[in-house]
Amino acid sequence: MKKLTRPVAVLVAAVAGLALAAAPASAAPNAQDQEFLVAAHQGNLAEIAAGQAALAEAATPGVKEMGQQLVTDHTALDAQLTAVAQQLGVALPGTPTPEQQAALAEVQAEDGQDFDTAWLYLQIESHRATLALGERELAAGSEQAVKDLATASAPVVQRHLDHALMLARELGVDAVPAGTGGQAAASERPLGLALSLVGGLLLAGAGVLVARSHRTTPAARRR
């Protein structure tokens, strides 16, 4: 019996090794996961920049206060997001989208109350777009760590949206109702800012999908 001890131990170890090898590896992030990580990261960078702009240029104390809130909260959210992206091997851009940068530059071209009004329009629409991005991730994402990011960020983003809507009411600004396509906007210019930012989020997601399609195998292309 003692002679069988070592061979049996070796056999058990071999079987255990085969079982570990056969175990499924952690699922790679799908296209939706990658879209969320890239777009949410750029959204965080855009909100941090917008918050800094409000701190420097807003005429209303409430807008300045919200600007600081954006800087604090989106810095924290982005730290969590970048850690997950690094773990999953998803490369993140270093700046907001060109559309997001252009939208903020247009807001910064305004002064005083006009700046505050344009800034609030931008925040209302950008935070609505971010909430929609999170909903798409929860519906179609495959990586639980990324879905957890969407779940954790939603109440923060909703709080910012509620704050912006409250400030808009206090300043007599007509907020663009969700789902109206912008028909209720008081002017075309703030709406254009909002739509350019939403377009930036959509382009970020499209870029991820195009990048994945370029990695299709030659055999698949021949078919």
State pLDDT tens for residues 164-221.
999 999 998 776 554 433 333 333 344 444 444 444 444 444 444 434 444 444 444 4
Torsion of CA 93, 74, 206, 200, to 10 degrees: -100
How many other C-beta atoms lie within 10 A of the C-beta of residue 123? 28
Is there a contact between 154 and 131 (Cβ–Cβ < 8 Å)?
Answer: yes
187's enclosing H/E stretch is: none
Identity of residue 208: V
Is there a contact between 123 and 156 (Cβ–Cβ < 8 Å)?
Answer: no
pLDDT tens, residue by residue, 86-116:
999 999 999 999 999 999 999 999 999 999 9
Question: pTM for the full model?
Answer: 0.71
Distance CA 70, CA 131 (A): 15
